Structure 1
């Protein structure tokens, strides 16, 4: 975050530490860095992972602390509202926009610099010294209602919150991004001064590795991920993940491979997806899992016949990188960002092309070496 530190009182010390790091002499700095993560209660495992890995690896070089308030269930804590989607979403908004910033305003002097882990939390920048704050922009999904309102129609209050979040991102001294595809989108929409942009691609957690044979094989034989051969999808079930495509091609593949199962990790079915599962008569051959450890997730990658990523848009596509690191066979949408991540190691299929997806999956499943 060297660009965000120019106005710090300890500028000479920071410049010296930064120069040492740039020259390969990784020395420890006295910089007090606050890492500002997502609330765990929101259930975004990839963002939790980013915060954890950043803290783990940067603390060797600086005084870094992950800091945040406790999540306040202001509405959803009431007995009659605990199952209310409205109450949960209202609490998310209040914690992001009110309680978290208010908590930081009382403590920001304890730190020299700040890193907002998730760009959808960029409203935090309004309560921090912008010249000392960096934000990681993973994708532009949070701003689709502003950038493409015809594709993402939202009520006025939602657009107001998105605009406030975007303005927070634009105020930050540094904006980190994961892929050149994300940078291209940022520049296409003219959202951020290019001089503020810093490329910081994701890494892979140590649990995600292939076996010594160089192929995906079970490493923990006591963990049976499925009683039958299975396809794997990792991620949320929001619309851009194209779970509708996932379900259709799985149903198609089962006509040729009737023992096949589908394991979905990390999402929650929408009402439309549940109706599709019922229509396709898949209820007994699909399992959805949440809250797995990284070791358990890695084992699923290793045991899956194929890992599928049918998304229509991604900022990075972390499951593609994790699955490939485990030696799995990955079939992904033919998006520039996923090609950037998967390179020549993955198989690519046009977005939403059901016949092409079905043909590719069945062809791969028929391989005797799979």
Structure 2
């Protein structure tokens, strides 16, 4: 193994205009922690500026994001051309597996790809599903890039098992390194962020439930909305806060049909400190997804001292352990009952509620971006075939 003074790592980030906060967070945290664990790693962020080729089409983008045509053009045409012109590095870390096609434009044996879930490959795994906005041939190009990479680092053991079990990637190419919690996620008061959160939510003394994430089908926003509607029958003060983008037209129609529009506050994309403040202000956080690759809101909520109810999925059990509360996926009646039980605990059993909050904070402490960066540096050295002084 070659000995070298420093390892040059290029962090290959998502286009900012795509607005995938968890992917942007990973790039940000890798840059912040590079070389802070006693090793000598020099990190450089690679992220081109989104330059539209069809300005008129940009008006079609929802919630400030580019429309599908532009996203495909930027990902599969502009980004590859741009990255081939960048200075070389010892290791390239693609932080989002749906950008794995970039391996074809880099020395693939020195590429590390983080795989968050298998969603990008659903049309290959289950052809009847139509969640992907990419044509099959582009999905296959992403998959071939993933397979060409020197290492695929999964954020959970469940994600690795699914990748390998579906014959997407060989086991010997995979690693598991859980991601971390942003430093802003804490039970401690942050006066500036707390004021910003109060401005967004108002201060009515209501029972506020929080959902953080996108509105793609697997997030089961329908279950979320129906749960709130059922709770409203016995808790007329219940409200829902949504962070992560606007509802789809079908979801907005469902909220209107359920008569809960006035109970919902849909917020813009917010900074990490303000998001942490929203976690702290909420009574409970809900995550009713059908599928997850990790479930970052689980540990973010816990770190802020707010209990979470999430779908009873193997991956969420892996991440949440005994500190989270679980409910059967897809059953709004069961969800409403579970949430009501926890709210009753908050109202009438202060000691039990305090213990639940403390257990969450303690559990979340195991998920650190510093630990993540340290583990990734070991992967970088392995892939580069070097030892760093």
Indicate the TM-score class for this superposition, using the shorter chain for normalisation: 0.7 to 0.9
Alignment partner, residue 286 of structure 1 = 264
Deviates more, 1:34-43 or 1:59-68: 59-68
Matched, 1:69 2:48: yes
Unpaired stretches in structure 1, ≥5 consecutive residues: 1-10, 15-28
Partners in 2 of 1:255 and 1:54 — Cα distance? Answer: 46
Name which of 20, 25, 44 aligns with 1:44: 20
Alignment partner, residue 169 of structure 1 = 146
Please tell me whether the aligned partners of residues 218 and 299 of structure 1 are also in contact (alpha carbons under 8 angstroms). Answer: no
Alignment partner, residue 360 of structure 1 = 338
Please tell me whether the aligned partners of residues 9 and 42 of structure 2 are also in contact (alpha carbons under 8 angstroms). Answer: yes
Q: How many Å apart are 1:219 and its aligned residue?
A: 9.3
Once the two structures are superposed, residues 325-349 of structure 1 have per-residue CA deviations (whole angstroms, 9 ceiling, x without a partner) of: 1111100000000011111111100
Alignment partner, residue 178 of structure 1 = 155
Once the two structures are superposed, residues 261-283 of structure 1 have per-residue CA deviations (whole angstroms, 9 ceiling, x without a partner) of: 10000122111101101101222
Partners in 2 of 1:180 and 1:69 — Cα distance? Answer: 32
Partners in 1 of 2:2 and 2:240 — Cα distance? Answer: 56
Deviates more, 1:56-65 or 1:45-54: 56-65
C-alpha RMSD over aligned residues: 2.0
Matched, 1:83 2:59: yes
Partners in 2 of 1:68 and 1:350 — Cα distance? Answer: 40
Distance 1:331 1:116, change over 3 A: same
Matched, 1:30 2:20: no
Unpaired stretches in structure 2, ≥5 consecutive residues: 354-389
Once the two structures are superposed, residues 153-176 of structure 1 have per-residue CA deviations (whole angstroms, 9 ceiling, x without a partner) of: 769x71111111111000000100
Deviates more, 1:98-107 or 1:170-179: 98-107
Partners in 2 of 1:296 and 1:88 — Cα distance? Answer: 28
Please report the TM-score for the alignment, with normalisation by the length of structure 2: 0.82
Partners in 1 of 2:235 and 2:142 — Cα distance? Answer: 47
3-state SS of paired residue (2:228): helix
Once the two structures are superposed, residues 239-280 of structure 1 have per-residue CA deviations (whole angstroms, 9 ceiling, x without a partner) of: 000000000000111111111110000122111101101101
Please tell me whether the aligned partners of residues 138 and 315 of structure 1 are also in contact (alpha carbons under 8 angstroms). Answer: yes
Please tell me whether the aligned partners of residues 241 and 313 of structure 1 are also in contact (alpha carbons under 8 angstroms). Answer: yes
3-state SS of paired residue (1:13): strand
Please tell me whether the aligned partners of residues 131 and 217 of structure 2 are also in contact (alpha carbons under 8 angstroms). Answer: no
Distance 1:92 1:220, change over 3 A: closer
Alignment partner, residue 251 of structure 2 = 273
Alignment partner, residue 195 of structure 2 = 222
3-state SS of paired residue (2:147): helix
Please report the TM-score for the alignment, with normalisation by the length of structure 1: 0.87
Matched, 1:314 2:287: no
Alignment partner, residue 24 of structure 1 = none
Size of the aligned set, in residue pairs, is: 337
Please tell me whether the aligned partners of residues 32 and 112 of structure 1 are also in contact (alpha carbons under 8 angstroms). Answer: yes
3-state SS of paired residue (1:176): strand
